[in-house]
Amino acid sequence: MRLAFLVPILLVLHLAAPLASGDAPPEQVTPITPHGEQRVDPVAPGGEQHVEVLDPSGVQQVTAGTKNPVHRAADAVAKVVIVVVGAAIAVGTTIAGVLFF
């Protein structure tokens, strides 16, 4: 009983001893030289960016949804089916784990 308690403590002390000594191994830095010439190309030249000022009335405009009601209903039914199947799988695996293990 005492051995099972003592072994993890000795293992932790053995692993922590090099860290507590304070002697760090020397670090070595190896410079990496590029094989060829490198250059940076801008993604878009500075003159191609376009900024529009928004007026207060344009900020509050909301467009109508692009889905028709049938498509939205089908999406809602699919989400419910996925949740029910997921719950059934979770409950089934829990029951199987309780019964067989």
**pLDDT tens figures, 15-66:** 887 777 777 678 888 888 877 777 777 776 666 666 777 777 766 666 666 7
**H or E element at residue 10:** helix 2-21
What distance in Å separates the CA atoms of residue 13 and residue 35, rounded to the nearest whole number? 47
Q: What's residue 85's pLDDT?
A: 97
* Rg (the chain; Cα; Å): 32
Mean pLDDT of 88-97: 95
Region for residue 21 given its phi and psi (left: phi exceeds 0; alpha: psi -120 to 50; beta: otherwise)? alpha
Q: What's residue 58's pLDDT?
A: 64
Q: What's residue 64's pLDDT?
A: 67
Which tokens in the block code for residue 68? Answer: 């028709």
Residue 45 or residue 100, greater confidence: 100
